[in-house]
A = this chain, B = another copy of it.
Amino acid sequence: MKATLAQLAALIGGTVQGNPDLEISGVAALEDAQAGQITFLARRKYLSLLARSKASAVVVGSDVTVDRPSLRVSNPYLALSKLLAYFHPPAVPRVGVDPRAFVEEGVVLEGDVSIAPFVWVGKGSRLGAGVTLHAGVSVGEGVTIGRDTILHSNVSIYPGVTIGQRVIVHSGAVLGSDGFGFVRDEGGRHRKIPQVGRVVIEDDVEIGANVCIDRATLGITVIERGTKIDNLVQIAHNVKIGEDSIIVAQVGISGSVTIGKRVTIAGQAGLADHLTVGDGSTIGGGSGVAKDVNPGEVLMGAPAIPHTLWRRVQACVPQLPEMVRKLQNIEKRLRQLEQQKEKD
Using a CB–CB cutoff of 8 Å, the interface residues on chain A facing chain B are: 27-29, 31-32, 75, 77-78, 80-81, 84-85, 87-88, 90-91, 98, 100, 102, 116-118, 120, 134-136, 138, 140-141, 152-154, 156, 158-159, 168, 170-172, 174, 177-178, 180-186, 188-194, 196, 204, 206, 208-210, 212, 214, 217-219, 226, 228, 230-232, 234, 236, 244, 246, 248-250, 252, 254, 262, 267-268, 270, 272, 285-286, 288, 302-303, 305, 309, 312-321, 323-324, 326-327, 330-331, 333-334, 337-338, 340-341
Contacts and interface: CB of A to CB of B under 8 A. Distances in A.
Contacts of A317: 305, 313, 320
B193 A81 contact: yes
B171 A177 contact: yes
A32 B197 CA distance: 11
A174 B171 contact: yes
Pairs of residues from A and B, 10 with the lowest C-beta to C-beta distance, nearest first: A156-B171, A138-B153, A316-B320, A120-B135, A84-B194, A174-B209, A212-B231, A135-B138, A77-B183, A177-B209
A192 B81 contact: yes
A50 to B, nearest CB: 15
A28 B141 CA distance: 22
19 contacts: A29-B218, A31-B219, A32-B219, A84-B194, A102-B117, A138-B154, A138-B171, A152-B156, A153-B156, A154-B156, A174-B231, A177-B208, A177-B209, A252-B267, A270-B285, A309-B318, A316-B324, A326-B331, A330-B334
Contact of A334 (B183, B321, B334): B334
A262 to B, nearest CB: 8
Contacts of A334: 330, 333-334, 337
Contacts of A32: 218-219
Contact of A246 (B120, B190, B250): B190
Nearest to A27: B218
Contacts of A186: 78
A330 B28 CA distance: 59
A234 B231 contact: yes
B218 A234 contact: no
Nearest to A157: B153
B232 A212 contact: yes
Given A134-B138, A180-B208, A317-B320, 5 more contacts: A116-B120, A136-B156, A214-B231, A305-B317, A319-B324
A84 B156 contact: no
A327 B214 CA distance: 49
A313 B314 CA distance: 12
B138 A120 contact: no
A212 B212 contact: no
Nearest to A89: B194
B244 A188 contact: yes
A94 B134 CA distance: 25
A191 B81 contact: yes
